[in-house]
Amino acid sequence: MKYCILATITFLGVFRTAFAQNINWRSIQTDQNHIISLQTGFDYGFTTGIGYGYRLKTPKPILLNVEYSFPAGDHPFDDFKTRIGGQMEVFQFNGFSATVKAYCPFRRFENRQTRLVNFGGEFSGVVGYYKPKWFISGEFGLDKAIITHIKQSEEARKNGPSLQNGWYIPTGGNYFYGLQSGFSFGKNDISLKAGRIVSQGFKTRPLIPFYAELGYNRRF
């Protein structure tokens, strides 16, 4: 069980990804309900992602998202992360804003020792100052691996005969916190975020406990 928890925490370290559409609510025009996003960054390894968001016509601004990201490597599409969910601005006054985000991620990661497939939950809050041309904010959240399936390779089973395949629940999680900023021009947004990662329980950190991401949004 300790091995499985450690493997999942490592999995989350590789694929925690801060990738998510960074929204400047004040730059979105009333006739702009669609947002296409491109992201690239460093989160234990280099990752690239694409996403689509749709803004609902509700009293509180709500954006529904679907996203896909993958790491750099010889076979980049073997490992991946998809997320579906959304974000809602719950408070806004004189440029100050608070947003909550909730996503359901699905991840796959494989190396010579094991293959991991995970369903999880990701929840975060963003508080900052937003103007039509720029914004700056801070974010704190939790990425939780709710259920993970582990399949050991033949090589791993030879080295550890007691290792077992199967579903494990619950498994590991990571907290993340950092700053993000961006500027807007026309129908375009460019954003930058950076922060740190710590495992659930605040006792350990991933090998590289930080992340950084550059993002681009196109609104239409």
Q: What is the pLDDT of residues 60-71, one digit of tens each?
A: 999 999 999 888
Instruction: Collect all residues with Cβ–Cβ distance below 8 Å to 40 and sequence separation of at least 6.
Output: 46, 47, 48, 49, 213, 214
Nearest to 208 by CA among 220, 219, 216, 196: 196
**pLDDT at residue 2, as a whole number:** 47
| More reliable by pLDDT, 179 or 152 | 179
CA distance 214 to 109: 23
In this prediction, residues 100-110 reach a mean pLDDT of: 92
- Go through the domains of the chain in sequence order and give each one's CATH number: 2-219 (2.40.160.20)
CA distance 5 to 126: 28
Q: Please, what is the end-to-end C-alpha distance for the chain in angstroms?
A: 48
Sign of CA dihedral 8, 10, 11, 12: positive
Share of the chain above pLDDT 90, in %: 53
Between the alpha carbon of residue 177 and those of residues 26, 74, 132, 187, the distances in Å are: 23, 30, 24, 28
Share of the chain above pLDDT 70, in %: 87
Q: HEC string of 160-174?
A: CCCCCCEEECCCCEE
| More reliable by pLDDT, 100 or 151 | 100
Length of the chain: 220
Between the alpha carbon of residue 44 and those of residues 63, 94, 98, 138, 213, the distances in Å are: 28, 37, 28, 21, 12
| 151-178 per-position pLDDT tens digit | 888 777 777 777 788 888 876 788 999 9
| 5-61 per-position pLDDT tens digit | 445 445 554 455 556 678 999 999 999 999 999 999 887 678 889 999 999 999 999
Residue 82 CB: number of other CB atoms within 10 A? 17
pTM of the model: 0.85
| 81-93 per-position pLDDT tens digit | 899 999 999 999 9
CA dihedral 62, 135, 67, 147 (to 10 degrees): -80
In this prediction, residues 109-119 reach a mean pLDDT of: 84
**pLDDT at residue 14, as a whole number:** 47
Listed range (89-98, 145-154, 188-197, 199-208) with the worst mean pLDDT: 199-208
Token digits of residue 12: 């989350």
